[in-house]
Structure 1
Amino acid sequence: MPRYDAEGTAGILNIILKREKTLGFNGSVNLYAGHPTNAGATVNANLRTDKFNFFTTIGYRKRTGPGNGFFDNSYFPRTLTDQNGNDSIVDPEFSRIIEDRDIDRQNEGYNINIGSEYFFSETSSVTATYFRRVSDGTDITNIFSERYKSALDDETFRQEIENEDDTNWQFSLNYLNKFDNEGEELTAAFQYSEGFEDVLTTLDESVTSPTTDLISRQNLFETEKQQDILLQMDYVLPIGEDSQFEAGYRGTFEDEITTYDLEDFNETVGGFIPNTDLSNDFTYYEDVNAFYTQYGNKLGKKLSFLAGLRLENTRLTGILNTQSDFLQEFSGEVDLNFKKNYLGLFPTANLTFEIAERENITLGYNRRINRPRGWFINPFPSLTSRTNVFQGNPDLDPAYSNTFDLGYLKRWDKLTLTSSIYYQHETNSFERVQENTGLFTTDGIEIIRSIPFNLATNIRTGAEGSVMYNPNRKMRFTGSFNIFQFKSDGSFNGRELGTTNTSWFARFNSKITLPAKIDWQTNFFYRGPSANAQTENKSIYGLNLAFSKDILKGNGTVSLNVRDLFNTFKRQSYTDTPFFTSDNEFQWRVRQITASFMYRINEQKKRGRPGRDDDDGEGEAF
C-alpha cells in the first residue's frame, strides 16, 4: 500500500519493540548451542509502571558457517578487431580451469538494546530506544585449482583470509497519539543509525605443481561507513463505520563511503607496495522523499475498495575518487560519476466483492519502483578474484513495475483456500551479464566481468494458491504453490539477451502436537529450475524440522532445531557465453543443528514465525 515504501524495503535496522501491557516485571532468558558452532544467550527484561515502561535486550552469539563451492570453467578462442578493422584469433592461455572451494566463516558479537516508553495518558506516549551491535569475524576461503591447456598443465592454491570488524548503532524516537476510541491516531518516528565496517583481506596464490612459484600476493584494506536517517509521520482518520482516510510522509536519507586500498607484494624489494591502479574510494548518496494518501470505503454490503497514491522523489549521487588509468580502461564507456533525480507517482487500488460471509473475490493493482543499491552501481571492480570480477554500473536506472492480480478466498470450518492469478510488467529491469574485458592477469588468464544493466522489459505472468487445514487443535497444515512464466526482452553490447522461461516454487509448513505435548514443526521449500539468456539455474530445495516442549509448569521451553536436514540447499547453475562456459555449485552454509532452553519470568510464551533466524530466536522452534 502507498503508506509503505514504494519499493517495499528500507535500508534502516527498523527495530520493532513489543509494548508490554502488564504492570510489573517480566522477562526471559534464552540459551542455545549447536553444530556447526552456533552458541549464544539472549536476555530480555521489561518493567512496567503506570507512567513508564522500561525494557532491554542483551545478546551474545558465536557462530561458524562452513560452506563450499565448485566451478568448472572452459574458455574458447575469440576474435579481436583492431582500430583498422583487422580481425585476429586469440587463444586463451588455459582452455579449462577447475576450482574447489572450502569456506570457513567465524563470527562473534554482542548486541544491546535499551529503551523506555513514557505514557502522557492512556492514549498518548513517546518511546526512545538505543541499539548497538558489535561483531568481529574471520572468513577463510581455500581454493584448489587445476588448469588445463591440452592436458593438465599445473595446479594452484589460493587462500583468502578476511578479517572484519563491524559496529552498528541506532537511536529511535517514536510518538503515538490516539485521539479517541474510534481509531483516529497520529504517529511520528525518527531514526538515526551509523555503521562502520573495517576489513583486512590477505590474498595469496601460488603454483603448487609441477613447480612451486608465487603468482600473486596482496593485502586489501576496505572500510565502509554508512549513515541513515528516517523521518516518518502517519495520520489515520476513520469516517463513519465503513470508511477510513490516511495520509503521511516518509523520508530516508543514506550516505555511504566505501574505501579500497590495495598493496602488491614485490619480490624484488621483498615487501608490499601500494597499487594505485586498484585503489579508490566511492561515495554514494540516496535520498528518498515520499508523500502518500489513501482512502477505503465499503459500498453496500458486498463491495469495498481501498485506493491510494504515493508521490516519491529519489535522488542518487555517486562520486568515485581515483586516479586509476586501469579503471578507465576497464570501465570503457561507463561514466564513473553520476547524479540522478527521479520523480514518480505510484497508485494502488484494491476491490473486494463479498460473495458470501466466508467467500470473496479481490482485484488489485499497484505500481512499484526497484532502486539500484550501492554495490550494484559502484564502478570499481571487486578484488577477491583475479579472473572473475563483479563491477557495478553507475548507468543503472531504477526499474518500474505495474502489477495486476485477481484473487479468490474461501473459508470452511477447518479449511481455508486462497488463490490468485497475476500479471507484472517491469521496465528497465536489472539483469547481470558476463563479458570478456580484453584484459589479462599476469599469468595470461583473461579477466571476465559480471556487470548489471537495464534490460528493456520483464513480463511475469503466473498463478498461485495456498491451503491451510486445521483438522483439530493438535494439527495445522499449510501448503502454497506458485507457477509463473518469465519473459524478458533486451540487448547488451549488440547481443540479444531476451528469453522466455517457466518456473515454479512451493512451500509446506505443518505443526503437530505429539504425545507428551511435544510440538513438531516442519518447513519444506522447493524452487524449480529457471533460466535467463546466459545462465540455467537448477532446482533447489531444503527441509527444516523443529521439536519443542514446555517444562517447569510452562515457564520453560526446550527445543531442537534442524535446518536443511538433508544438506541439499545448494545453488547449481550453468552459464554459456560465446567466450566461456561455467558449470558451478555453491553452498553458503551446511546443515545446522541447534538445541535451546528458554525460561520465562511472568511472561507468556511467544510463538515463532516459520523460517525465523535471528540473534534473539536462535534455537526456538521455527
Structure 2
Amino acid sequence: MSNLIKLFTTVLLLVTAISFAQQRPEAKKIKISGKIFEKGTDFPLEYATVVFENANKQGALSGSVTDMNGEFSFEVNAGTYNVRFEYISFKTVEIKNRTFSEDTNFGTLFLEADIAQLEGVELIAERSTVEIKLDKRVYNVGKDMMVKGGTVSDVLDNVPSVTVDAEGNVALRGNENVKILIDGRPSGLAGLNIADALKLLPADAVEKVEVITNPSARYDAEGGGGIINIVLRKGKANGLNGSIILSAGDPETYGVSSSINKKSDTYNLFSNFGYNYRNNPGNSLTDAEYFNPDGTTSQFINERRTNNRLREGYNMNFGIDLNLTESLTWTNALTFRENRGHNPNNVFFYNFDALKNPTFVRNRLNDERSEDFSIEYASNFVKKFKKDDHVLTLDIAVSSNRDNENSVITDQVIGDPTTLFSETTLNNQKQQRNLIQSDYVLPIGKDSRFEAGYRGSFLESLTEFEIQPASPYSNTLEYNEYVNALYMQYGSKINKFSYFFGLRFEDSNIDVNSFTSNSFNNKKYNNLFPSATLNYEFSESSSMSLSYSKRINRPRGRFLNPFSSYSSNINIFQGNPDLDPSLTDAIDLGYLKRWDKLTFNTSAYINITNDSFQFIRKESGLFVNGVPVIVSTPINLANEYRAGFEFNLNYTPYKWWRLNGNFNFFRNETQGTFTYLNYLDEVVTQNFDNVALTWFARINSKVTLPYKIDWQANATYNAPQTNAQGRSLGVASMNMAFSKDVLKDKGTIALNVSDLFNSRKRIMETNIPNIVNSYSEMQWRERQIMLSFTYRFNRQKNERDRQPRRDDNGGDGDFMG
C-alpha cells in the first residue's frame, strides 16, 4: 500500500510542478523522451513514472508517465537533476546529479521485476474486485473466483447495489427499471429478453461491470433505476498473448473459453471464443387455496414443478483496432452467439376438496426445445485532436437475433388414460437492431469541457406464438421502436467545486401491433431529459456530490406480448400491449471518503415515477377442470415513490485480507387502483396503495492463505418486502471459492460453490380476496460446484488494461477525475 501511496503522491507532485513550470517561460526548455519496457518480456510498461527532481531545490519535481506503448515525452527547464524511472513491483533505476542542457532521448530502458516485493505488489496491482468512485462502481470480473465457469447473471449477482432474482430479473438498488448495456450500447446479442440472454452469455467473456446510479445526459435516457454497462474482454498487450479457461461442474456442466490477441504498433487483433454445456436443474412449488364467490373455500391445489434446463452453445468474437494515423483509430468487431436448449418442465397438480381430502392428481409435462442465434457487427472511429481530451467518435452497430422455441405439452389425470390431452406450442422471435451514434468532446480552457452528440436506435422485432389445437392464447406481435436523440452538456471546475449540466432530447416512434387480435397501437412522443451534477472536494480523499436526472422506462418483450408462457395452464403470464412508458425523476446525494485501508461511499436517493409498471393477478374467466385460470399481467399505476440510502465500502485490514460490502435500505410507496370486469360481468376494483420497507446486504471477503491459496466467500441477504397483493419473504444465500496459482503463475486452478446452502429462492405469499390465497417457492437453479483451470501465455496474471476505457456515448471517463 505504501508503494501505491508513493506513486499517487509523486504523480500529484508532478502535475503541480508541471503547472508551476508552465508559468515561467523565461527558462530554457528542453525535451526529454524515451521508452520503458519490462526486462525479459519486452512488454511496454504503461503508467511507468519518470521523475526529474531538481538537485538544487529539494521537492521541485518534473516528469511524466508512459503511454500504452511505454513511451514518454515531456519538457523541463535545463538544469541538474536526480532522475528516477519507477513502476510498481519493479526495481527503480536512478541517475544522480546529471546536468541536462539540450534535448535528451534515453532510448529504451528496461526495468526488472522486484522479486522481494511481489507478494505485496500483487495485491496492489490486482486492486480491489470492486472499485468505488463517487458516481459509479466498477466491478472487475477477472478478480472474482466466484463466477469462474458461470454466466453473466452470476456476475451481476455479485455486483454491489445489484440483485438478480430467482428468475434472472436484474434490479439496481431494488429497482428493476434498469438499462443494461454491453460495451456501452444496447446490444442485439441480448435479444428480446435480457434476463434470458444474461443466463447464456459466459462470465469469462466479461472484463468488468460498471454501475451508474444517476447517469448524465450523454447516456441513454432509458432505465429509471440507472445503467449497468457490461464491458467485454479485449486484449491490449503487445505481441501474441492470451488465455484459455477449462471448466467442469456438478450438476453436469463443462465449458472452454479463450481470449487471444496479437498487437503491434499499427494494429491490435483480438478474439474471444467459448463453448459451454450447462445443466441447470430447478424447481418450484405453489400451495393455493381457492374460494367461492361468498368467500368459503372451494378447493386446494398443491403444484410441484421440476425443470432441467439443458443449454449448449458457443460464442465467438473477432475484432481489429487499426491505427490509421497517430490520431485516428478504426475498430471493427464481429460477434456470433448460438445456443440450443432442452427444458423438460414437469408439473404435478395435487387436488383436494374443501376439507383437504385428496381428489385427484394431474400431471402436465411441457417438453420445451429452443434454438437462438445472434450476430452483431460494430464499427468505431476515434479521432483525437492535438489538445488532450479533444475527441470525435463515430459508432455504427448492426445486429440480428433469432430465438425459436417449440414445446410438446401432455396433460392427464393420473390413472385415467381417457383424460390424456396433448398440445404443441411454437414461439418464434426475431429482432433487427441498427444503431448509429456520434459524440464530440471539446475541452475549454484548463478546467472546462463541452460535449455534444447524436444517437439513433432503430429496433424491429416480430414474435409469433401459436398453440395447436387452436387456442385463444395464440398471437403474432410486432414491435418496432425508433428513437432519435440529441444531447449537449457543459462542465467546469472552480477551485474545489465542479459542476456538469446537460440536456438530452429523445424523439420516440413506437408500434405495438397484435395481428391476431387486430390491435394496432402507435405511440409517438418526445421528451426532454435534463441532468445536473454538483461536486465539492473537501480534500484529495473526501468529496460530495448532488445529482439529478430525468429517466424513461419503455416496456418491451414479455411486458407487451399478450402471451409468453404456457408451462402452467392455470397460472398464466400475459403481457399488456397497451403499456405506456414510465418517467422517473431521480435525485442522488453522495459522499466518498478514502483512507489508507478503507474506501467508503454512501448515498441517499429519491426516485419519483409516474405510470410505473406493476404486476396484478386476476381471474381470466376461464376454467380448467373447474379451476379458475389466474392471469398475471403488468399495468400502469399512477405513482411510485422510492427513497432510500446505501453504503459501499472496500477495506483492506491486511495485505492478505480484503473486504467489500454493500448495504441498501429503501422505502417504496405505490398509489393507484385497478378496475376490471370479471367473468360474471361484475366490476372489480383493486386498491394498490401500498408502502413497503425492505433492505438487502452483501459482504465479500478475500483472504490469501498459506501457500498462496486464495479463499473468497460472499453472503447475501434480501429482507422481506410487502406488495399490494402479498409479500416476498427474506432469503439468505452464500457462495465460496478457492484458487491456487500453478506453473510459475501461468496457470490458476479455482474451485467455487454457488449457493452453498441451496437456499437461494424466491418465496412469495399472495392474497387476492375471494379468489385465491397462495404460497410459492421458486428456485431457478440448484446449488452448483465448478472446477476451472486457467492458463495464460505471454500474459501476466495481473496485467493491466493498457488502453483508456471509452464510456458510453464517447466519454473518456469521469469528468474532472
- Hey, what's the Cα distance between the residues in 2 that align with 1:533 and 1:600? 53
**Which residue in the other structure is 1:615 paired with?**
none
Q: Judge conservation of contact 2:481–2:509 (CA < 8 Å) in 1.
A: yes
Q: Judge conservation of contact 1:12–1:193 (CA < 8 Å) in 2.
A: no
Instruction: Report the secondary structure of 2:514's partner residue.
Output: strand
Q: Which amino acid aligns with 1:449?
A: V
Q: Which amino acid aligns with 1:352?
A: N
**Which residue in the other structure is 1:604 paired with?**
796
Match of 2:341 among 137, 142, 147: 137
- Hey, what's the Cα distance between the residues in 2 that align with 1:606 and 1:498? 52
**Which residue in the other structure is 2:661 paired with?**
479
**Which residue in the other structure is 1:18 paired with?**
234
Q: Deviations over 1:514-537 (max 9, x none)?
A: 111112222222111101110200
- Hey, what's the Cα distance between the residues in 1 that align with 2:379 and 2:402? 22
Q: Judge conservation of contact 2:311–2:341 (CA < 8 Å) in 1.
A: yes
The 5-angstrom pairing of residues 295-374 of structure 1 reads 295-299=490-494, 301-322=495-516, 336-374=519-557
- Hey, what's the Cα distance between the residues in 2 that align with 1:64 and 1:520? 26
- Hey, what's the Cα distance between the residues in 2 that align with 1:278 and 1:409? 52
Q: Please say if 1:465 is aligned against 2:622.
A: no
Q: Judge conservation of contact 1:67–1:102 (CA < 8 Å) in 2.
A: yes
Task: Go from structure 1 to structure 2 and tell me whether the alpha carbon gap of 1:575 and 1:321 turns closer, same or farther (over 3 Å shift).
Answer: same
**Which residue in the other structure is 1:272 paired with?**
none
Offset at residue 51 of structure 1 (A):
2.0
**Which residue in the other structure is 1:46 paired with?**
261
Offset at residue 261 of structure 1 (A):
2.1
- Hey, what's the Cα distance between the residues in 2 that align with 1:411 and 1:191? 39
Task: Go from structure 1 to structure 2 and tell me whether the alpha carbon gap of 1:21 and 1:246 turns closer, same or farther (over 3 Å shift).
Answer: farther
Q: Judge conservation of contact 2:502–2:531 (CA < 8 Å) in 1.
A: yes
Q: Judge conservation of contact 1:28–1:44 (CA < 8 Å) in 2.
A: yes
Offset at residue 455 of structure 1 (A):
0.9
- Hey, what's the Cα distance between the residues in 2 that align with 1:586 and 1:527? 15
**Which residue in the other structure is 1:281 paired with?**
476
Offset at residue 216 of structure 1 (A):
2.7
Q: Please say if 1:562 is aligned against 2:753.
A: yes
Q: Judge conservation of contact 1:502–1:530 (CA < 8 Å) in 2.
A: yes
The 5-angstrom pairing of residues 449-528 of structure 1 reads 449-493=631-675, 494-528=685-719
Q: Please say if 1:112 is aligned against 2:316.
A: yes
- Hey, what's the Cα distance between the residues in 1 that align with 2:740 and 2:383? 40
- Hey, what's the Cα distance between the residues in 1 that align with 2:534 and 2:653? 31
Task: Go from structure 1 to structure 2 and tell me whether the alpha carbon gap of 1:580 and 1:37 turns closer, same or farther (over 3 Å shift).
Answer: same
- Hey, what's the Cα distance between the residues in 2 that align with 1:222 and 1:307? 46
Instruction: Report the secondary structure of 1:375's partner residue.
Output: helix
Instruction: Report the secondary structure of 1:568's partner residue.
Output: coil
**Which residue in the other structure is 2:762 paired with?**
571
- Hey, what's the Cα distance between the residues in 2 that align with 1:58 and 1:308? 40
Q: Judge conservation of contact 1:12–1:228 (CA < 8 Å) in 2.
A: no
Task: Go from structure 1 to structure 2 and tell me whether the alpha carbon gap of 1:597 and 1:68 turns closer, same or farther (over 3 Å shift).
Answer: same
Match of 2:401 among 189, 195, 209: 195
The 5-angstrom pairing of residues 226-237 of structure 1 reads 226-237=431-442
- Hey, what's the Cα distance between the residues in 1 that align with 2:406 and 2:773? 32
Match of 2:587 among 401, 404, 429: 404
Task: Go from structure 1 to structure 2 and tell me whether the alpha carbon gap of 1:12 and 1:25 turns closer, same or farther (over 3 Å shift).
Answer: same
- Hey, what's the Cα distance between the residues in 2 that align with 1:303 and 1:364? 14
Max radius of gyration: which structure? 2
Q: Deviations over 1:191-212 (max 9, x none)?
A: 1111111211011111115x44
Q: Deviations over 1:11-43 (max 9, x none)?
A: 999874525241x21111111111111201112
**Which residue in the other structure is 1:7 paired with?**
222
Instruction: Report the secondary structure of 1:516's partner residue.
Output: helix
**Which residue in the other structure is 2:70 paired with?**
none
Offset at residue 123 of structure 1 (A):
2.6
Match of 1:254 among 449, 454, 459: 459
Q: Which amino acid aligns with 1:102?
A: T
Offset at residue 374 of structure 1 (A):
2.2
Q: What 5-or-longer segments of structure 2 have no aligned partner? A: 1-215, 676-684, 801-817
Q: Please say if 1:217 is aligned against 2:422.
A: yes
Match of 1:432 among 615, 638, 656: 615
Offset at residue 112 of structure 1 (A):
1.5
**Which residue in the other structure is 2:51 paired with?**
none
Q: Please say if 1:418 is aligned against 2:623.
A: no
Q: Judge conservation of contact 1:336–1:379 (CA < 8 Å) in 2.
A: no
**Which residue in the other structure is 1:76 paired with?**
291
Q: Judge conservation of contact 2:608–2:642 (CA < 8 Å) in 1.
A: yes
The 5-angstrom pairing of residues 24-43 of structure 1 reads 24-43=239-258
Q: Deviations over 1:490-524 (max 9, x none)?
A: 00003211101110011111221111111222222
Q: Please say if 1:293 is aligned against 2:503.
A: no
- Hey, what's the Cα distance between the residues in 2 that align with 1:543 and 1:110? 29
The 5-angstrom pairing of residues 169-180 of structure 1 reads 169-180=375-386
The CA RMSD measured in Å over matched residues stands at: 2.2
Q: Please say if 1:100 is aligned against 2:304.
A: yes
The structure that is strand-richer by fraction is 1
Q: Deviations over 1:116-170 (max 9, x none)?
A: 2211123311111111111111001111121122321101111111011111111
**Which residue in the other structure is 2:92 paired with?**
none
Q: Which amino acid aligns with 2:703?
A: I
Match of 2:352 among 148, 167, 189: 148
Q: Which amino acid aligns with 1:260?
A: F
- Hey, what's the Cα distance between the residues in 2 that align with 1:435 and 1:277? 17
Q: What 5-or-longer segments of structure 1 have no aligned partner? A: 80-88, 265-274, 324-334, 609-622
Task: Go from structure 1 to structure 2 and tell me whether the alpha carbon gap of 1:476 and 1:319 turns closer, same or farther (over 3 Å shift).
Answer: same
TM-score between the two structures when normalised by the length of structure 2: 0.68
Offset at residue 317 of structure 1 (A):
0.7
- Hey, what's the Cα distance between the residues in 1 that align with 2:600 and 2:260? 40
Q: Please say if 1:183 is aligned against 2:389.
A: yes
**Which residue in the other structure is 1:206 paired with?**
412
- Hey, what's the Cα distance between the residues in 2 that align with 1:177 and 1:114? 22
Offset at residue 307 of structure 1 (A):
1.4
**Which residue in the other structure is 1:585 paired with?**
777
Task: Go from structure 1 to structure 2 and tell me whether the alpha carbon gap of 1:483 and 1:27 turns closer, same or farther (over 3 Å shift).
Answer: same
Instruction: Report the secondary structure of 1:95's partner residue.
Output: strand
**Which residue in the other structure is 2:468 paired with?**
263
Q: Judge conservation of contact 2:235–2:270 (CA < 8 Å) in 1.
A: no
Q: Judge conservation of contact 1:337–1:394 (CA < 8 Å) in 2.
A: no
**Which residue in the other structure is 1:613 paired with?**
none
**Which residue in the other structure is 2:366 paired with?**
160
- Hey, what's the Cα distance between the residues in 2 that align with 1:566 and 1:383? 31
Aligned residues: 572
Q: Judge conservation of contact 2:507–2:527 (CA < 8 Å) in 1.
A: yes
**Which residue in the other structure is 2:13 paired with?**
none
- Hey, what's the Cα distance between the residues in 1 that align with 2:623 and 2:424? 20
Offset at residue 189 of structure 1 (A):
1.0
Q: Which amino acid aligns with 1:345?
A: L
Task: Go from structure 1 to structure 2 and tell me whether the alpha carbon gap of 1:11 and 1:416 turns closer, same or farther (over 3 Å shift).
Answer: closer
- Hey, what's the Cα distance between the residues in 1 that align with 2:556 and 2:541? 42
- Hey, what's the Cα distance between the residues in 2 that align with 1:446 and 1:381? 19
Q: Which amino acid aligns with 1:115?
A: G
Offset at residue 226 of structure 1 (A):
0.9
Q: Which amino acid aligns with 2:314?
A: Y
- Hey, what's the Cα distance between the residues in 1 that align with 2:230 and 2:544? 34
Task: Go from structure 1 to structure 2 and tell me whether the alpha carbon gap of 1:72 and 1:386 turns closer, same or farther (over 3 Å shift).
Answer: same
